Amino acid sequence: MNGNSYKGYWEDGKRSGQGIMKYGNGDEYKGQWKEDKRSGKGELKYVNGDLYKGDWIEGMMNGIGTYLYINGDIYEG
């Protein structure tokens, strides 16, 4: 087992809709899923303290979003 846990909606055995995924490495994603991939609006908090809030498509950061680095740097785009 990889230590991942998911709490949220499922459709046809795949994560779909709103959910929270806690990864075994300490990262945590809260947001929308489609076809078992991050898709729509969501935020990913990394174990190192960095945070991305924004759009996802096919499991990838894509579209409008903000990346907040633990050192205080901010990337918006």
Query: Which residue ranges form the domains of the chain, and what is each CATH number?
Result: 5-76 (2.20.110.10)
Look over the chain and give the mean of its residue pLDDT values, rounded to a whole number: 96
pLDDT digits (tens, 9 = 90+) for 62-76: 999 999 999 999 999
Q: How far apart are CA 54 and CA 2, in angstroms?
A: 26
User: What pTM was computed for the model?
Assistant: 0.92
Give residue 1's pLDDT band: very low, low, confident or very high (50, 70, 90).
low
Query: Residue 53 class from Cβ within 10 Å (0-12 exposed, 13-18 middle, 19+ buried)?
Result: middle
